[in-house]
Amino acid sequence: MSISSRHEARLLTADEAELVAQSHHPKLREANDGNLAELISRLRERRDRARDVSRRQRRELRGKAAPSGARPATDNTGTREKAALLAAAVKRASKETERRRNAQARGSLVTSARRALAMKQAAGDPTAGRPSSRTADAGMNPVPNEGLAPSGALDSQGQEVAMRRGGGPR
């Protein structure tokens, strides 16, 4: 729900009203990154203070805490609304920071993609040295097993022993 500027002015001090005005659209886009970070920190401080005052007043209303001012608190709706208004201003400014961060990341991503494309195009065609169709090759090369006896060795060396065991020639 939007709040009118007259209602904002009634709830906020002049300094707080200026901070909240800087968090609205035209001024928010024009602020540089340093000013935006400073604005967010100042808004957070004011929001936290308003929230703490509202909590203290609520405790006074319930009778949990002694009155801190000259008069005891009778209502905390104004401070609650003030805290909500400052919280909305913090949210707007934080969204703008996030929008800027995303735009910068998108820009660097586009730059990186363009650089990668240029490198790929400069490398040329990766299929230039390949044949146009699949062709047969010489195949696998035999690897000799050094642990085996040379070809024919069993015939000459083990034949006599094998014949004695087997009962003679066949």
Distance CA 89, CA 32 (A): 17
Q: Model confidence at 136, in pLDDT bands (50, 70, 90)?
A: confident
At 159 the pLDDT is: 62
pLDDT digit string (tens) for 40-71? 999 999 999 999 999 998 888 888 888 887 77
Closest CA to 12 of 68, 81, 58: 81
The mean-pLDDT minimum among 3-12, 27-36, 99-108 falls in 3-12
Separation of alpha carbons 101 and 98, rounded Å: 5
Least confident of 5-9, 47-51, 83-87, 105-109: 5-9
Q: What is the mean pLDDT of the chain?
A: 85
Amino acid at 146: E
Structure tokens at 144: 């000799």
Q: Are 90 and 40 in contact (CB under 8 A)?
A: yes
With a CB cutoff of 8 Å and minimum separation 6, the contacts of 91 are: none
Sign, CA torsion 28/29/32/33: positive
d(CA 80, CA 122): 63
- Of 52-61, 107-116, 120-129, 156-165, minimum mean pLDDT range: 156-165
Rounded Cα–Cα distance for residues 106 and 95 (Å) = 16
